[in-house]
Structure formats: C-alpha cells, structure tokens
Amino acid sequence: MSNASLVIANWKMNGNRALTRTMSEVLRDNQADFNGVKVVICPPFTLLAEMAGHIYYDEIALGAQNVSEHESGAHTGEISVAMLQELGVEYVLLGHSERRAEQQESDQVVAAKAAAVTQAGLTAVVCVGEDKSQREADKTWSVIKAQLENSLASLSAKQMARVVVAYEPVWAIGTGETASPAQAQEVHAKIRGWLVENYQQVGAKVPLLYGGSVKANNAESLFSEADINGGLIGGASLKGDEFSAICRAAKG
Ligand code: PEP
C-alpha cells in the first residue's frame, strides 16, 4: 500500500519548450491512473510561463527550483516570490544539495527563503540530506537535525503548514544509488519525530518526500514505507512514461 500523495519533478537545468508540451500531454493521458496524487513540475525559470500554459487538470501544479529571499530591488539576476506568484507558481524547492554545493547556499539563506515563501502563502519544499562521508561517519541524523533546526525552526506553525520536507541523501542524487526503503524510512521517522516535537499536529501533517535516484522500478517499495509521503524526482522526471509510472506507484 502506498503512503504517498505528492510527487515533485525537478527538471534542474534541463528541458525546453517542447518538453513542457509533451510532458503535459503524457500526464494528461495517464492522469486517470494517479488521480488523488498531487503532481508538481519544477522546470527552469524560463519555462515556467510555457508550462503554466499546458496545465490541463487540477492535480498538476507549478513549482520553481529556487527564489530570492529579497522582496524586490537591486538584486541582479534574482527572481522574487511575487514574480513566481504572478506566474501561478505554488511550490518552491529550497536548499537542494546542488545549490548548497554550487552556490554555497547555507541553512541561514534557506531559512530566509522559507520564511519569504511561506509568508506569501506558497509551499516551501526544503531539501535536507547527508553526504557519503557523513553517513559513513554515522553522522546522518546529526547533519539532518542541524539542517532542520537551522532552516525551519524560526517558522511559525502557520508557516510550517506550508512546508514540505524532502530527504535527499546527497550520495543518492543522480548516482543511480538509491537509499533502501528501510534506510529512507529510518531517517523519515526521525524527521517526523522532530517535526511533531517542535510543531505538534502541524508537524505531524508535513509531507515528507524521499529523493535520490527514484525510478519506476523502485518507487513502489519506497512509497510503501510509513513515513514516505511521496518523491522528489530528478532524472526520471524528464521522461514522460517513467515519470507517469512513478506517479502511478504513488497512487498505489
Ligand atoms: C533531485 O535532483 O532532487 C534528485 C532526486 O535527482 P535524481 O532523481 O536524478 O537522483
């Protein structure tokens, strides 16, 4: 049985206008197989408007891969929450490990962005995860706990109701190496415990996504774990059939 109801596609720096159209068509053609599952597509900024034009049914929503923590002004190259809202964006990925590594995005920056996103009524998808050396040194939970504390703990309960947490072990992203369902569940249960301890009933309802080489052939076993409420999908979200199969696995 699946415990998942949310699947988010992270296209990263991939895709083009043609893909927005074909992906929308494939999802529309297969939607009967996964009704009740919320599907969010996060294309690059330049494809958001195009994608918005191809949203054919209610359960598909638009997401962005990043946002500025600033409201407006002299921040060349940045995109504000209000700009995303104007395009109909409902979800924003924050603190992806690629941004943490390549753009030196810190927990403090993620916290400021999460505050701006949730204050505006959008949903912040906050990514956390340990790298290989941290896992091997048995530091997985201490790393993730610190990320949660530093990027989420200043949010009000009302803001927390607009947060999704994505557990993405860095060693599993884009590598083909997936955390086993048991490994993922172990971390998800601890994240759930932290959320409940700090945000009680609101924390109990925060969706927890697993991300890291989720494919059509492993989605079902991951989504059957008690605290895995869906997936954040990179590479496999660029292929319509594969992505549809993952959405189908979420439906169970
Ligand atoms: C990601 O980028 O969030 C991700 C999980 O990538 P992949 O599915 O390709 O590992």
The three-point CA angle 148-167-26 to 5° equals 135
Other Cβ atoms less than 10 A from the Cβ of 128: the count is 24
Q: Are 223 and 3 in contact (CB under 8 A)?
A: yes
Residue 59 is predicted with a pLDDT of: 85
Per-position b or e across 165-180, b if 16+ CB within 10 A of its CB: bbbbbbbbbeeeebbe
The three-point CA angle 193-67-149 to 5° equals 25
CA distance 162 to 51: 23
The two structure tokens encoding residue 131? 């790298």
CA distance 9 to 39: 8
Ligand 1 proximity of 207 Cβ (cutoff 6 Å): no
168 catalytic? Reply is yes
pLDDT < 50 stretches in the chain: none
96 catalytic? Reply is yes
Query: What's the whole-model pTM score?
Result: 0.97
Q: Are 43 and 21 in contact (CB under 8 A)?
A: no
Ligand 1 proximity of 63 Cβ (cutoff 6 Å): no
Give SS3 for 106. Answer: coil
Residue 58 is predicted with a pLDDT of: 81
The two structure tokens encoding residue 38? 């919320």
Q: Tell me what percent of the chain is helix, strand and coil, each rounded to the nearest 5.
A: 50, 15, 35
**Which of the residues 168, 188, 225, 242 is marked catalytic?**
168
CA distance 107 to 99: 11
